[in-house]
Structure 1
Amino acid sequence: MSKIGGLLRRTFGVVREHVGTDHLGNRYYLIPEQKTWTGRHVRAKRIVEAANPAEHEYMEGSIPMEWEAWVRGRRKEPPSIEELMLNESQREKIKLKAIEVEEKDLALQAKEYEEGLVATPTRTVAKGHASTAIFGKEELSQEPTSTANKFQPGSWMPTSKK
């Protein structure tokens, strides 16, 4: 079988085996280990044929985590449909629990603020830019200032730095 497969690969090019398709329409292929016509060994490859082939349309999460782990070689076997469905339902449960916990936390904070157990956070307005050396300080400058036509030469005298 491997001799026939090798002959077909040499004759018709790379043979890829369809492994699966996810719910987003991405198709996954395995290119088995093969020998070129020169006798060089080529390692097996795992590739994805995206449902939206335009690069600018790719978004994080366009490939399910299980399939990405298979493509990157972190798992040996491709994921089954049952596994994908089970993991998706678990993710939804976790999202719902996170929302529930956040609502309880906000209600507890509001109750503590009302009872006076916790001081309400103050909101301060900062003047200037935080990266400046004198952020938040209002000191008078020793530097001369000019307002165009009102400046009188010799009216400013430097102060001693002693």
Structure 2
Amino acid sequence: MSGGEYRYVWRIAFRNFINSFRPRQISGNKIGKDYIGNEYYEIPADPSRGKRKPSRWYDPPKGLDFQDPIPSEWEAWLRMRRTEPPTEEEITKNLAIAEMKKINAEKLEQARLAEGGALPTPVERGPQSYPKYKDYHVGDVEDKHRNKY
């Protein structure tokens, strides 16, 4: 091994240990707020210091500490799947679509019940992970394979 960085491993480890006790930047740039009341923050990336990715987090409102699920648009931003935070128009449009789907599902369910439709029959499951259907019987095939060997 060459002399360069190898000789200073303990020095680097000790410096990192000491730096771990220094307070970190707690406050970031406030990016936005959603309809639940969660506030979203970001500390931007700084490649000159070796920080390639931004740090992102959210603070829930008082009393609702991490109980409600966050909107999917904000979750995608937090998980770095999107670079730009969602806009208010995008969020309201997606909420309207979700409400419309709930209303349409309820209408379809009411129409199915009005026609006299029964609930779908559950599929019987055995001890294995494959479902058993009444229309298909695989016992004959299994018996042939058992008798063969």
Which of residues 67, 71, 90 in structure 1 aligns to 2:97?
Answer: 90
d(CA) in 2 for partners of 1:47, 1:34: 17
Alignment-derived partner of residue 32 in structure 1 = 44
d(CA) in 2 for partners of 1:68, 1:16: 18
Structure number with greater Rg is: 1
Can you give the 5+ residue segments of structure 2 that lack an aligned partner in the other structure? 1-22, 128-149
Say which SS state the counterpart of residue 96 (structure 1) adopts. helix
Give aligned-pair identity as a percent: 33
Which of residues 74, 78, 81 in structure 1 aligns to 2:85?
Answer: 78
Q: Does 1:46 align with 2:56?
A: yes
Shift of 1:109: 2.6
d(CA) in 1 for partners of 2:74, 2:62: 16
Say which SS state the counterpart of residue 99 (structure 2) adopts. helix
TM-score by length of 1: 0.51
Q: How does 1:140-159 map to 2 (within 5 A)?
A: none
Can you give the 5+ residue segments of structure 1 that lack an aligned partner in the other structure? 1-11, 114-120, 122-129, 132-162
d(CA) in 2 for partners of 1:23, 1:76: 21
| Structure 1 pair 98–49 and aligned structure 2 pair: CA distance change class (3 A) | same
Question: What root-mean-square deviation, in Å, do the aligned CA atoms of Structure 1 and Structure 2 show?
Answer: 2.9
| Structure 1 pair 27–58 and aligned structure 2 pair: CA distance change class (3 A) | same
Question: Which has the larger helix fraction?
Answer: 2
Alignment-derived partner of residue 103 in structure 1 = 110
Which stretches of structure 1, 4 residues or more, deviate above 4 A after TM superposition? none
d(CA) in 1 for partners of 2:44, 2:30: 11
